[in-house]
Each structure stands twice: as C-alpha cells, then as structure tokens.
C-alpha cells in the first residue's frame, strides 16, 4: 500500500532564502510524481509533474527532482518570497489514483 | 478550452441529510476522480469513473456514491451525512483511467455538515 510522507510539516523562513521541501513514498511503482500548491480554503494549483522516466522538472524559481529507487522527491524553491506562503502537497500516481502527502505549510516572512 | 468546474462552491447541510456535488470535466477528458480533503489533511481518493463505469474505489462507505454521464460530467452523492463529512471535495478529470494520465483538479466544493 502506497504511503506518502512530507517533511517538515511546517516551515517558516525569511524572504530571499532558498529552501527544499521533501516528499517520500513507499512504493516505487509510480507513474508520476506531482507537486501542488494550496492556498488557505482554496483548491489545488499544479506546480510541476515529473514522469517516472524523468529525473527533474523546472518552472521559474521551482525545481522538482525525483529518485524512484530511493522513493524520494524534493521541491526546491529559489529566492523565496512572501507570496510563496502556502501549503505544498506532493502526490504519487498509482494505477488509477493519486496518493497525497499531508503537506508542508510554508510561511515566508517579509 | 474550459477547465474542470465544480458546483456549488459552498454548501451547508444538516446531519442525516443527503447532498449532490457536481463536476464538469475538461474538454476531451473521459475520466473523473473524486477526492475528499479534511482540514489539515491531504486529499483522500473516493472513487474514479471511466467512460461511465466505476474504475476504482477508495476506503469510503457505500453512502458515498457516484455517477458519470455520457458527456463525462460527474456527480458525487453522499447520503446520511455525518459531521465528519465536512470537508473540501475535489474532482479531477483526465484523458484516461490509467495512472500515467495527469489529473486536472477543479476548485472544489466546501461542504459543512452541522
């Protein structure tokens, strides 16, 4: 049974810092690994999707990596800004469904 | 191209009542998946519909049921509402029912059960 864990559960950093969010999964037989952003009370915004054959994806200040053999993915955020404050969720896609972690709550202080 | 839409946005119901949530899939998508997100948790998979048939189900009781229509829009029905059913309900559509297809999420319906 796939389990997805995100560490840390919460993170507070000063503006401008580079930071790394971690996601681990127990079953390496995944199709994709996807990172989402969720603002309070809102739905999910897709940030990056990494296919199982890929090692990383980049979009602007965001870079996500995937290591299936170790069951890990990281989301790197460069030069963090107060507007980056949100909850970040990772999801591993199985046979037909996404398994989500519980998220990392990020606060970037001005 | 229209994305995934859900209605209503918010809903307040009383314990024991029944509720229907609606989802319109993205153009060209034939699969809809439903997720429940309780406060402070990650979304949990409820079930998936592929070409009008249930394609998989998570660990939810039978009072959670669904339907997919010929135009691939979908409904989630919850009977005998309980307080713990209060959550954000998300639907996602995709090109197919297999795991390699990216799921595109709607904005969600916030259900409050009092």
Per-residue confidence (pLDDT) for residue B1, from 0 to 100: 60
Per-residue confidence (pLDDT) for residue B100, from 0 to 100: 85
Is A43's CB within 8 Å of B104's CB?
Answer: no
A10/B contact by beta carbon, under 8 A: no
Cβ atoms of B8 and B111 closer than 8 Å: no
Residues of chain A contacting B102 with CB distance shorter than 8 Å? 32, 34, 46, 49
Cβ atoms of B32 and B93 closer than 8 Å: yes
Between CA B89 and CA B111 the distance in angstroms is 7
Three-state secondary structure string covering B46-108:
EEEEECCEEEEECCCCCCEEEEECCCCCEEEEECCCCHHHCEEEEEEEECCCCCCCCCEECCC
Between CA A62 and CA A60 the distance in angstroms is 5
Per-residue confidence (pLDDT) for residue A8, from 0 to 100: 92
Which of B30, B34, B43 best tests the A interface by mutation, with the highest count of A CBs <10 A?
Answer: B43
The pair of three-digit structure tokens given for residue B42, joined into one six-digit string:
């990650």
Is B48's CB within 8 Å of A96's CB?
Answer: yes
| Closest-approach residue (CA) in chain A for B5 | A43
A24/B contact by beta carbon, under 8 A: no
pLDDT in tens, A13-28: 999 999 999 999 999 9
Between CA B54 and CA B86 the distance in angstroms is 24
Cβ atoms of A36 and A47 closer than 8 Å: yes
Q: What is the mean pLDDT of residues A90-108?
A: 95
Which residue ranges of chain B lie beneath pLDDT 70? 1
pLDDT in tens, A33-83: 999 999 998 999 999 999 999 999 999 999 999 999 999 999 999 999 999
Query: Residue-wise over B68-81: b if at least 16 C-beta within 10 A, else e?
Result: beeebbbbbebeeb
Between CA A98 and CA B94 the distance in angstroms is 12
Which of A99, A98, A47, A54 minimizes the C-alpha distance to A76? A47
């Amino acid at each position: 049974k796939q389990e997805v864990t995100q560490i840390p559960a919460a993170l507070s950093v000063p503006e401008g810092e580079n930071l790394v969010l971690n996601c681990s999964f127990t079953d390496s037989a995944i199709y994709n690994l996807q990172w989402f952003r969720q603002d309070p009370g809102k739905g999910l915004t897709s940030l990056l999707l990494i296919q199982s054959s890929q090692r990383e994806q980049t979009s602007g200040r965001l870079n996500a990596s995937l290591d299936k053999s170790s069951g890990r993915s990281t989301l790197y955020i460069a030069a963090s800004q107060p507007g980056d404050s949100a909850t970040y969720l990772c999801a591993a896609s199985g046979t037909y469904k996404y398994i989500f972690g519980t998220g990392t709550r990020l606060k970037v202080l001005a | 191209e229209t994305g995934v839409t859900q209605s209503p946005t918010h809903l307040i119901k009383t314990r024991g009542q029944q509720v229907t949530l609606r989802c319109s899939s993205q153009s060209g998508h034939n699969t809809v998946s439903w997720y429940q997100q309780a406060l402070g948790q990650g979304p949990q998979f409820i079930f998936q519909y592929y070409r009008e048939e249930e394609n998989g189900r998570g660990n939810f009781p039978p009072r959670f049921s669904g339907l997919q229509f010929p135009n691939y829009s979908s409904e989630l029905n919850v009977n005998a509402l309980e307080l713990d059913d209060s959550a954000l309900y998300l639907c996602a559509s995709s090109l197919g029912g297999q795991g390699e297809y990216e799921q595109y999420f709607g904005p969600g319906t916030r259900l409050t059960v009092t």
